[in-house]
């Protein structure tokens, strides 16, 4: 063998030794698909690629296009790498010491002049459980402010509010996804799983192969309708009214599970009295769904031995979102389809940690373990865990959009934003941008210079999912451990470490002494103990060995709770609450001036405010701008051409969009995806009217005028 060949083989062996494969989880939706990240190191750079994990217990080794490209944004050249502060109108790189000193001065200046509650904190549903927990503690101890909320307010707050009122506890899915094929009828309401959570479509396809009937309720014929036996093309904003029609059929045709209702619910008589007054003809007129289809859907679900109902943002993102979901829960309870195999309810979480993110304290009304900040016993317990007097805990603040309004009024002078892009994700985004420009200081911690980050006075480089370590609670309520697998770029720091560093310069560092994310998790376990979302029995080792654990898990000998409500519900008496739901119109209805109803949502290639996916060329190139989806007949009547442009106007603003014909949408309705900012932000038009219970804005319906442009 020649010396050259020997040298070549030696080089190849050295290169092979620098190749490694590590299991991790996708950073995008709530399924949290596990994947194999392959790293190939060369002398100059590391190259990454992704393949599915064939052993994933939820997806059976599937990944969507976002998952296959998830590594791209985390290794992107445009990642923030150095702290920056605004000097003379320009963001300039500085050392961490300089950045922290500036942050300290800004925070202390605002607090001294305006008080503790002049500072707000705005978090995100992509944060790990440890980071979300720490952010809540940071706001209340290091800053002593009541103003903390997060973008998850726009995700599942309506479903959470409904579940808490009806069941007494909120966990997104009451059953694991493995039970979907056991259902004989499934209702998918306001959820486009095929594009938003495509890797779990297999469970629904398998159910259909086993003879399950599937009903889709949606104003659009989405990709999910490919598995539907029945599609109810409801008018946006009228979901609860549609369900009232179904409940009338359930009651009058004898599909009520009397034994279940009598033994496990309250409020049956009142609900029956209410639905008897419902007119199917009126329901049909309001919803735009033929009365026979309403009857067919009710019979299909009522006659099934087992059944499941799933809702998502199409039902929930309304000023009546809680009421909408509660009516679907009435349907579940009346038929006794919960707490047993193939029977249950699921709110399809949108964000990676949409479930865990709303459990441990980054909501305005919340403390860890799904405790309530205004409950005296809850306050006393958490204050003891944190080592502070109870009276030092701030009171309840306001929701995410209401924080923007408070900033606009001048009540909040400084804001810290972690892993969120409020300018793009809030409704009525003109107000949001105007408000943020009024701040004395805006501190943003993120991966990229987002639309919000561009306004920052201080911009800090945070950590991506490849550098983070911590736990995520996916849509089933299954807690998973994510391990760090690559070093941070440049001078970036872990998100949780940044919070600790800021607490240190504010003189509160002794409350934030952690060496690892696992240290934080162990404190979270104690803080959650005895709460509704009880993680006390979980450890990193147990979670990893068991491929995830379902909460509640109150002791280390407890096996976790894959299926909820088998024996009792979360209310003190163990019974669920049935509730009559009155018809409500959306806050805006069509008129001569605004003849169309606008609804918004996601597309397969993008994710939420687009900060990650718009920085992934493989995804952004497939769907580079938002499109106005409109029925061809409606478009023709107002002179729109497919591929041309239209001017879309609401009471709050106007934007210009490219037109896309679609015969799969109602003629009175148009659809636009919300993943873009600036002049392409559809949230410049959306209605900030809030649900009275959960404070969810009405993203899913507003009245608009459309003309060529």
- Which pLDDT tens digit goes with each residue over 655-672? 999 999 999 999 999 999
Give residue 87's pLDDT band: very low, low, confident or very high (50, 70, 90). very high
Taking alpha carbons only, the member of 580, 607, 684 closest to residue 334 is: 580
| Separation CA 303–CA 698 (nearest Å) | 34
Burial of 266 (0-12, 13-18, 19+ CB in 10 A): middle
More confident residue, 9 or 218: 218
Taking alpha carbons only, the member of 72, 31, 29, 23 closest to residue 51 is: 23
| Separation CA 396–CA 145 (nearest Å) | 9
Peptide linkage before 552 cis (omega within 30 of 0): yes
Tell me if 505 sits within 8 A of 515, measured CB to CB.
no
Give residue 11's pLDDT band: very low, low, confident or very high (50, 70, 90). low
The pLDDT of residue 41 is 79
Tell me if 244 sits within 8 A of 278, measured CB to CB.
yes
pLDDT beyond 80 at 347: yes
Homologous superfamily of domain range 157-348: Dimethylsulfoxide Reductase, domain 2 (3.40.228.10)
The pLDDT of residue 358 is 94
Burial of 709 (0-12, 13-18, 19+ CB in 10 A): middle
Tell me if 281 sits within 8 A of 235, measured CB to CB.
no
* CATH top class, domain 17-74: mainly beta
Long-range pairs of 162-165 with CB within 8 A, sequence gap ≥ 24 = 162/321, 162/322, 162/323, 162/324, 162/325, 162/326, 162/329, 163/325, 163/329, 163/345, 163/347, 164/570, 165/322, 165/326, 165/577, 165/579, 165/693
- Which pLDDT tens digit goes with each residue over 588-636? 999 999 999 999 999 999 999 999 999 999 999 999 999 999 999 999 9
| Separation CA 705–CA 399 (nearest Å) | 29
Give residue 300's pLDDT band: very low, low, confident or very high (50, 70, 90). very high
The CA-atom distances, in angstroms, between 392 and each of 242, 505, 520 are 47, 20, 21
Give the number of residues written for the chain: 709
Q: What percent of the chain clears pLDDT 90, i.e. is strictly above it? A: 93
Q: Which sign, positive or negative, has the C-alpha torsion 230, 475, 159, 326?
A: positive
Tell me if 516 sits within 8 A of 128, measured CB to CB.
no
Q: Where do the structural domains in the chain lie, given as residue ranges?
A: 17-74, 84-155+353-466+494-518, 157-348, 596-708
The pLDDT of residue 48 is 87
pLDDT beyond 60 at 164: yes
- The mean pLDDT value of the chain amounts to 96
Q: Report if pTM > 0.85.
A: yes
The pLDDT of residue 343 is 99
| Separation CA 85–CA 659 (nearest Å) | 41
The pLDDT of residue 57 is 83
pLDDT beyond 70 at 7: no
Mean pLDDT of 481-505: 97
- Which pLDDT tens digit goes with each residue over 385-437? 999 999 999 999 999 999 999 999 999 999 999 999 999 999 999 999 999 99
Give residue 2's pLDDT band: very low, low, confident or very high (50, 70, 90). low
Paired tokens of 340? 């047993």
The pLDDT of residue 47 is 85
The β-bridge partners of 371 are: 367
Give residue 39's pLDDT band: very low, low, confident or very high (50, 70, 90). confident
| Separation CA 249–CA 241 (nearest Å) | 13
Tokens 């896309």, residue? 660
Give residue 10's pLDDT band: very low, low, confident or very high (50, 70, 90). low
Give residue 76's pLDDT band: very low, low, confident or very high (50, 70, 90). very high
Neighbouring CB atoms inside 10 A of 404's CB total: 28
Write the DSSP symbol of residue 688. E
Least confident of 27-41, 108-122, 253-267, 268-282: 27-41
- Which pLDDT tens digit goes with each residue over 233-281? 999 999 999 999 999 999 999 999 999 999 999 999 999 999 999 999 9
Decide which of 3.40.470.10, 3.30.70.980, 2.40.40.20, 2.60.120.620 is the CATH code for 596-708. 2.40.40.20
pLDDT beyond 60 at 82: yes
The CATH number given to 84-155+353-466+494-518 is: 3.40.50.740
């Amino acid at each position: 063998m020649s010396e050259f060949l020997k040298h070549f083989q030696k080089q190849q062996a050295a290169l092979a030794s620098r190749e490694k494969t590590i299991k991790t989880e996708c950073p995008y939706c709530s399924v949290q698909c596990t994947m194999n990240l392959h790293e190939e190191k060369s002398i100059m750079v590391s190259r990454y690629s992704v393949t599915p994990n064939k052993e994933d217990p939820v997806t059976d080794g599937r990944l969507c296009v976002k998952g296959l490209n998830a590594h791209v944004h985390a290794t992107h050249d445009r990642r923030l790498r150095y702290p920056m502060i605004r000097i003379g109108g320009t963001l300039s790189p500085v050392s961490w010491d300089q950045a922290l000193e500036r942050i300290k001065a800004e925070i202390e200046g605002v607090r001294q002049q305006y008080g503790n509650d002049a500072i707000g904190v705005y978090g995100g549903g992509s944060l790990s459980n440890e980071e979300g927990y720490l952010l809540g503690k940071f706001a209340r101890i290091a800053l002593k402010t009541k103003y903390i909320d997060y973008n998850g307010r726009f995700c599942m707050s309506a479903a959470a509010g409904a579940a808490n009122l009806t069941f007494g506890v909120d966990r997104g899915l009451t059953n694991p996804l493995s039970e979907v094929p056991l259902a004989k009828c499934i209702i998918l309401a306001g959820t486009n799983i095929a594009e938003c959570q495509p890797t779990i479509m297999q469970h629904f396809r398998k159910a259909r192969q086993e003879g399950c009937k599937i009903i889709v309720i949606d104003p659009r014929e989405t990709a999910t309708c490919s598995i539907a036996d029945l599609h109810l093309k409801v008018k946006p904003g009228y979901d609860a009214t549609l369900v009232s029609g179904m409940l009338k059929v359930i009651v009058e045709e004898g599909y009520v599970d009397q034994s279940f209702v009598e033994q496990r619910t309250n409020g049956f008589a009142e609900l029956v009295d209410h639905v008897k007054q419902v007119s199917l003809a009126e329901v049909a007129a309001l919803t735009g769904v033929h009365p026979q289809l309403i009857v067919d859907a009710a019979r299909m679900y009522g006659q099934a031995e087992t059944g499941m109902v799933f809702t998502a943002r199409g039902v929930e993102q309304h000023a009546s979102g809680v009421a909408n979901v509660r009516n679907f829960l009435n349907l579940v309870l009346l038929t006794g389809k919960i707490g047993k195999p193939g029977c249950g309810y699921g709110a399809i979480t949108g964000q990676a940690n949409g479930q865990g993110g709303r459990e441990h304290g980054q909501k305005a009304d919340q403390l860890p373990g799904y405790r309530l900040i205004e409950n005296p016993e809850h306050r006393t317990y958490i204050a003891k865990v944190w080592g502070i007097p109870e009276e030092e805990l701030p009171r309840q603040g306001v929701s995410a959009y209401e924080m923007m309004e408070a900033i606009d009024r001048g009540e909040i002078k400084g804001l810290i934003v972690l892993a969120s892009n409020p300018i793009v994700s809030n409704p009525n985004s003109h107000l949001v941008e105007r408000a943020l420009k009024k701040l004395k200081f805006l501190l943003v911690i993120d991966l990229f210079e987002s639309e919000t980050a561009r306004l920052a006075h201080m911009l800090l480089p945070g950590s991506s999912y490849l550098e983070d370590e911590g736990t995520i609670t996916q849509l089933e309520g299954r807690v998973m451990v994510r391990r760090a697998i690559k070093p941070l770029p440049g001078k970036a720091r872990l998100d949780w470490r940044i919070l600790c560093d800021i607490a240190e310069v504010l003189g509160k560092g002794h409350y934030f002494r952690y060496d690892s994310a696992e240290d934080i998790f162990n404190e979270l376990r104690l803080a959650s103990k005895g709460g509704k979302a009880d993680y006390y029995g979980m450890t990193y080792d147990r979670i990893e060995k068991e491929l995830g654990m379902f909460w509640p898990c109150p002791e280390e000998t407890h096996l976790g709770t894959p299926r909820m409500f088998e024996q009792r519900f979360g209310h003190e008496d163990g019974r669920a609450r049935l509730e009559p739901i009155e018809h409500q119109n959306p806050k805006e209805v069509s008129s001569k001036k605004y003849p169309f109803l606008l609804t918004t949502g996601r597309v397969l290639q993008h994710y939420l405010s687009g900060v990650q996916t718009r920085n992934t060329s493989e995804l952004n190139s497939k769907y580079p701008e938002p499109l106005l989806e409109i029925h061809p007949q409606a478009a023709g009547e107002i002179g729109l051409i497919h591929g041309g442009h239209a001017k879309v106007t609401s009471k709050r603003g106007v934007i210009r969009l490219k037109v896309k014909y679609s015969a799969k949408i109602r003629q009175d309705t148009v659809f636009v995806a919300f993943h873009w900012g600036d002049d392409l932000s559809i949230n410049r038009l959306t209605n900030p009217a809030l649900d009275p219970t959960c404070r969810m804005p009405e993203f899913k319906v507003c009245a608009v005028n459309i003309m060529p442009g």
